Copies of this chain bind each other. A is one copy, B any other.
C-alpha cells in the first residue's frame, strides 16, 4: 500500500523522501500515519527492485536530498498494481483511496472502469457487522446504540460511494454498455 503510494506520487513527479512523506501523510496519514522508519526502508526496497532511482542533490534548504525518480519498470509496476489490485486493496478503504488517487495513471478508461467495477461489486455484496447465527442483524434489531451507529454510518458511507461509482462509471463506459 505504502509502496503503491510511493510509486504513484513519483509517477506524478520526481520527489525526495521528505516531500514524499508529506504527501503520503496528507493522503492517508491523518488516518494512518506513516513512520519514517517505514518509509525509508520501503524506498530502499523499491530502489533495490529497480523501480526507482535516486540522485543526490546538495540540500537546497538543509541536509542533502535524495531525489527519487521512477524508472520505466517502476511505471510498469505501478500500472500493473493499479490494474490488478488485490482484494484487500479493494475492500480496505485506506488502500482503496490510494488506488483511486493514482488510477488516472492507468490511461485506458476501460481498464479504469474495470477497477471501479470491482469496488462496486464489493460494496454490493450483502455484509453486516453482527450476525445472529447466519442471519445479518439490521440496525433496528440492535439495542446497543453504538453498534447501531456502526451500521448507520456504514450504510450512509457505502450509499454515498455507490452513487459516485455509478455516475463515474457512466462517464467512463461507452454508451454501448
Complex contact A101–B150 (CB within 8 A): yes
Complex contact B157–A92 (CB within 8 A): no
Task: Write the chain B residue with the least CB distance to A144.
Answer: B104
List residues of chain B with CB within 8 A of the CB of A42.
none
A91, A92, A153, A156 — most chain B CB neighbours (10 Å): A153
Complex contact B101–A26 (CB within 8 A): no
Complex contact A100–B146 (CB within 8 A): yes
Complex contact B168–A129 (CB within 8 A): no
List residues of chain B with CB within 8 A of the CB of A93.
31, 93
When chains A and B are docked, how far (Å) is the Cα of A144 from the Cα of B12? 12
Complex contact B146–A101 (CB within 8 A): yes
A43 to chain B minimum Cβ distance, whole angstroms, is 21
A26 to chain B minimum Cβ distance, whole angstroms, is 5
List residues of chain B with CB within 8 A of the CB of A88.
32-33
List residues of chain B with CB within 8 A of the CB of A92.
31-32, 94
Complex contact B31–A150 (CB within 8 A): no
A163 to chain B minimum Cβ distance, whole angstroms, is 8
Is the C-beta of A63 less than 8 angstroms from some C-beta in chain B? no
Residues of A within 8 A of B (CB): 23, 26-27, 30-33, 88, 91-94, 97, 100-101, 103-104, 112, 125, 127-131, 144-147, 149-150, 152-154, 156-157, 160-161, 164, 168, 171
